[in-house]
Structures are given as C-alpha cells and as structure tokens.
C-alpha cells in the first residue's frame, strides 16, 4: 500500500497513462482506476480527478517525469506503481500491445530492470490466481 500521498499520486498517473495507451479511457477503466487508487491509498477519488490526470499526462512528458522522480521513490513504491498499472490493464480482460509497451516503458523510466519487471508481473499473476479461488 502506498505509504504517502506522493506515492499514491504517481500510482494514479501511471494507471491513467497505461490504461489510456490504446485509446480514450472508458467508464470501466475509470471505475477500476478509482477502485485500485482507493485500495492503494486509502482515499477515494472521483472520475473527474482521473480525467484531470489524463489531461495532465497528455500535456507533459510522462516518462521524463517518472525518470526524474525515480530516485526519490523507494523500491516498494515503484513496485506498487507497476502492479497498480497492470491491474488496470486487466479492465477489459486483454492487454493491448500499446498498453504492454507503455507499462514496460514506465518500468524503465522508474529504473526497474527487465528481470525485476518480470518478477513483479509473475508475483502479481500468482496473487491474481489465488484471488480467483
């Protein structure tokens, strides 16, 4: 769980960026972003805030922003960012190539190695499988 508001904001930015990689955000993705954000931060968020973040993401260079903040984020927060973004990608039960690429680019901007990135996704797959039981 995100330990501070800054970490939660970076999680939100990542979820919005990755979910919108293949097209505009739809209502199901926005709803899932709101749910995952609340689960991660303990704070509720409205759809209008998600849309505001989407607009801000479009206006800036998201990967430069993540690269700049990467050194100030702990490993746990970086992992949370990747996990939350991946969970949002599952909103439509498939992950488009553009979404997967954006997630990998995000991990690279956060200075997460390919091996570590793969391990995060493997751990998440195990967790998701356990949730279905």
Region 12-25: what's the mean pLDDT? 84
Residue 6 reports pLDDT greater than 80: no
- pLDDT tens per residue across span 26-72: 888 899 999 989 887 888 999 999 999 998 888 778 889 999 999 99
61 CB-near residues (< 8 Å, 6+ apart): none
User: Which residue do the tokens 């439509």 mark?
Assistant: 92
- CA 30, chain centre distance (Å): 12
pTM for the whole thing? 0.85
The percentage of the chain sitting over the pLDDT mark of 70, rounded to a whole number, equals: 92
> Among 2-6, 8-12, 80-84, 123-127, which stretch is predicted with the lowest mean pLDDT?
2-6
**Measuring CA to CA, which residue among 54, 116, 125 is closest to residue 90?**
125
């Amino acid at each position: 769980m995100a330990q501070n508001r800054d970490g939660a904001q970076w999680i939100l930015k990542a979820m919005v960026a990755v979910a919108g990689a293949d097209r505009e955000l739809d209502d199901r993705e926005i709803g899932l972003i709101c749910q995952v954000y609340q689960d991660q931060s303990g704070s509720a968020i409205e759809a209008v805030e998600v849309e505001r973040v989407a607009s801000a993401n479009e206006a800036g260079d998201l990967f430069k922003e993540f690269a700049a903040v990467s050194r100030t984020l702990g490993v746990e927060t970086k992992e949370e960012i990747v996990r939350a973004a991946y969970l949002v990608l599952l909103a439509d039960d498939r992950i488009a190539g553009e979404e997967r690429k954006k997630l990998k680019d995000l991990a690279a901007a956060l200075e997460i190695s390919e091996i570590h990135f793969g391990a995060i996704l493997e751990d998440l797959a195990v967790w998701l499988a356990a949730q279905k039981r």
